[in-house]
Amino acid sequence: MKNRLKVLRAERDWTQADLAQRLDVSRQTVNAIEKGKYDPSLPLAFRISRVFEMPIEQVFDPEEGE
Amino acid sequence: MKLPDSLGFLCSGSERDRRNQLRVALWSLVWAFSFLAITLVIKKNWLPYGVTIVGVFGTSILGIVTILAHRRFLRETDELQRKIEVEALALAFGVGLVGGLTYWLLAVRGGVPAKDFIYVFAAMIITHPIGVLMGRRKYS
């Protein structure tokens, strides 16, 4: 599953650590999601969309699988 | 209390994770030392039987405290760290199961001494941190 985490984070000038703190996860988790190595759970995906204040489908793209 | 960065090689994740991981590591060490000490006491027959039994149960209690510390870490850590931990535990369990049964077959056949079965547990203990390191590498 592809995502726009890195772009959205850069638009807000946040570091991975900043985003990790907002999501209450480790920096490694943010890094793994950005690189597509780890797909977040549904609750975390919703938390991410809430942090970026946009619908979940604008952050994650389920059509483009691995 | 904030942990110093010099302990980063021991722990990873958020400050909460680091604290919980350090707690697990410390309790594991205490339990391991207690286990070694009581093993030595039993082998050398240094203490009366009753005191030795108290020592054995004391060591078990330390082991239970270690399990509870590990459970707390797993509950409070984030989902990726939990996944890494579970994969590492599965690897250690697999090594213990396969290694243990293989060792048991060899012991039945008479190829290895049954009393050295403890090495199977040692292999499990060593495999777990290796699994954690492999997981961290896989997801980084």
What does the pLDDT average to over B28-36? Answer: 94
What's the pLDDT score for residue B18? 87
Helix axes A16-23, A27-34, angle to 10 degrees: 110
Please tell me whether residues B95 and B128 are part of one structural domain: yes
What does the pLDDT average to over B55-76? Answer: 96
Question: Considering the entire predicted model, what is its pTM?
Answer: 0.80
Phi, psi of A3 (to 5 degrees): -150, 165
By the 10 Å C-beta count (0-12 exposed, 13-18 middle, 19+ buried), B8 is classed as: exposed
Please check the confidence at residue B9 and state whether its pLDDT lies above 50: no
Interface of A with B (CB under 8 A): 20, 24-26, 28-29, 31-32, 37-38, 40-41, 44
Phi, psi of B5 (to 5 degrees): -65, -25
Q: How far is CA B36 from CA B12, B23, B28, B59, B128, in A?
A: 28, 20, 12, 10, 20
Chain B neighbors of A31, CB-CB under 8 A: 140
Which of B77, B96, B115 is at the close of a domain? B77
pLDDT tens sequence across A15-62: 999 999 999 999 999 999 999 999 999 999 999 999 999 999 999 987
Please tell me whether residues B32 and B59 are part of one structural domain: yes
Do the chains contact at B140 and A31, CB–CB below 8 Å? yes
Q: Which chain B residue has its CA at the smallest distance from A43's CA? A: B79
Interface predicted TM-score (ipTM) over 0.90: no
Domain that holds residue B91: 78-140
Chain B neighbors of A37, CB-CB under 8 A: 138-139
Please check the confidence at residue B13 and state whether its pLDDT lies above 80: no
Question: Given pLDDT bands bounded at 50, 70 and 90, which one contains residue B127?
Answer: very high
Please tell me whether residues B85 and B121 are part of one structural domain: yes
What does the pLDDT average to over B31-53? Answer: 92
Q: How many CB pairs under 8 A join A and B?
A: 38
Which of B45, B77, B109 is at the close of a domain? B77
